[in-house]
Every structure is written in structure tokens, then in C-alpha cells.
Structure 1
């Protein structure tokens, strides 16, 4: 009982100015926390408004094989690195794929290189490789399906958030 009386007497003896000042400080701290939270949300929203999303993969028919790369995101993708490997061995670039096709299956092909420093704009579609010889198509498709050809593109947003795309999956990366 004595404890309740001491609390009651504490508030009764408190000056109204001190009570108002304490409430003002409390409201100021609450406002600060709301501002910091809102600032964090705005930063996240700003980063997401320029998020690139690079994917690529083969498309084929009886008379063509193409590997296209596209930025399906909402911001430009800044290429930091590209890795092309056949049977786990790194090669110079997408054009090197045809060096691994046996001479009897060789054919003409078209390719586009991507390189560090290149910017892939939103919606930009780059045809990395196009082949029209059915024998070469069949050979390369078998390698692709078996996972013996790997292509990885490391890219970043304008805020330096980076990802690694292997065509199907995109994962955060340090590049």
C-alpha cells in the first residue's frame, strides 16, 4: 500500500512543465524511430526500382539453335564477368564453343560476345549464339542437356548489388 501511495504522490508532486517536457522527449524518440524505419523502406524501394534480372537459355528447332540473353528486370545490368566452360574447363568466350564441335559437324555460326563493363539495358535481348546446321545443333544440344556447357554471367545494378546468373537461376554474388 505504501508503494502505491509513493507512486501517486510522485505524480501529484510532479510539475506540469516536467511532465510535458518528458512527453515531448518521448514523442521525439518515437518520431526518430519511425523516420529511421521509413528511411530504410525508401532505400529498399529505391534499390528495387532499378533491379536487373538477366536470364539466358537455348531455343531450338530442326534448323536452328540460338542462345539468347535478356535483361527482364527494371534496371540496367552492368556486366562484371562472364564465364564459359565446357566439361568444367574455362574457354575464351561463347565463340569458343564451336572449337569443341568435331570437324565433321562444323558449320557457320553467328555469335555476340558479352564482356565486363558492358551494360545490358532493360528488355535488351542479345543473341549469344546462332547455328543453323542440324548436325551441329544436335551435337551442341546434347552437350547443353548433359550440363557439359556452362555459361555464367555476373552482373550488378547501379547500386552495386550483384548477382550471378547461370541462365536458369539467379543468385546474389560478390562478383
Structure 2
């Protein structure tokens, strides 16, 4: 009589030694967790690097526009009153809007300003001005833009009133960076305020 065949059962992945199998399983889990941690950490590092690069690009493109006045000409004589915007930042500034007020009341042009401050109507006699609107202009870093120049009049009384303008005029300008980040600079404030978008309710100052 033939003896029945005896089939041995092989369990894949098992050595037959219980503690060895447990140790191998634990090691595999540790390696898996370590790989997962390294992948997550690498993702965080890459994200931080991307954010740092974005901040660096933004910082090197940051504009800073300020308002100033002067009552001297290029020779230092007190013969010209200038109203200026200057970009003191490191990136270009796009001027999106301006509001000029005299004693708290917005004016929309140089004629309106001079009529309000210094004359009963029309252009004050003997007073010459140069006007260059800043709206829509792009100021390079370090560039100064005179948006109004008034030359000294032969009429001393009139010039005295004109020369007193800086103390009674307030200027607000909204400007944006190349990344469409926007700020409002106000001659009454110490620093510009960041805004989501330039105001649309200003009495725009222009020609």
C-alpha cells in the first residue's frame, strides 16, 4: 500500500519564528512612519521656501509714495511753490487716484484750488502755474513728480496767500505695486495705510 502524501504548508512572509516575524513587522512599520514623516517635512520645507521667495520678491518690489511741498526754486530762491509726490520705495508705484482738499473741502483742479484760496473767480492775475496730473502715472523708485508748481506773483498780497497753501492743503494719494497691492498715503498721517483697493468715492484731483 502506498503511503498518503504529506503536503507541508508554507506561510508566505513568515519565517516560522514568532519573535523574528514580530520584530520584522515592527521595523517595517517604523520605516513606513519615518518615510511618511520625511515626505510631510519635505513638503513643509518646500512650502516655506516658496513663501520666503514670494516675500522676498514682494519686498524687492515694494513702493512707498510720500507727499511733500517746497517754496524754493532750483537756485534756492523763494519764488516757486511746489507740490510733489515721491516714490521712496524699491519698486515702481502706479498712482491710481488723488484727492486734494483745501481746509477740509475737496477741490478738483488747480483753478478750483486757487479760486477757493486766493481769488474771487478765474485765474488770479499775475500768477503762473504748471500742472502735471499724477493720476495714472507710474513712479520709478526714487522718482519725484511735481503735480503742481506756482510761480511767485508780482502781487505780494496774492503770493502771501498762495505761499500759505501748504498749511491748509491736505493730499491723499492711492498707489499700487506691480502685484496690485495698494496703499493710501495721507499728508496728515505718519505712514501709508494698506487697502484692498483704491477708494472709488474720492473727488478726484486732475486737470
TM tier, smaller? 0.7 to 0.9
Larger helix proportion of the pair: 1
Corresponding pairs, count? 162
Contact 2:65 2:86 in 1 (8 A): yes
How far did residue 14 of structure 1 move? 4.3
Q: Which residue of 2 aligns with 1:51?
A: 62
How far did residue 109 of structure 1 move? 1.5
Q: Which residue of 1 aligns with 2:45?
A: 34
Tell which structure's C-alpha radius of gyration is larger: 2
Q: Which residue of 2 aligns with 1:100?
A: 116
**Aligned-partner Cα distance in 2 for 1:138–1:53:** 32
Q: Which residue of 1 aligns with 2:105?
A: 89
Q: Which residue of 2 aligns with 1:127?
A: 146
Mapping of 1:1-175 within 5 angstroms?
14-61=25-72, 62-94=78-110, 96-103=112-119, 106=125, 107-115=127-135, 117-133=136-152, 135=156, 136-145=158-167, 148-167=168-187, 169-173=191-195, 174-175=197-198
3-state DSSP class of the match of 2:71?
strand
TM-score (norm 2): 0.68
How far did residue 131 of structure 1 move? 1.9
Gap regions ≥5 residues in structure 1: 1-10
Supply the RMSD in Å over aligned alpha carbons: 2.4
Contact 1:84 1:94 in 2 (8 A): no
TM-score (norm 1): 0.79
Gap regions ≥5 residues in structure 2: 1-21, 73-77, 199-207
Q: For the structure 1 residues 30 and 42, does the alpha-carbon distance in structure 2 shift closer, same or farther, using more than 3 Å as the test?
A: same
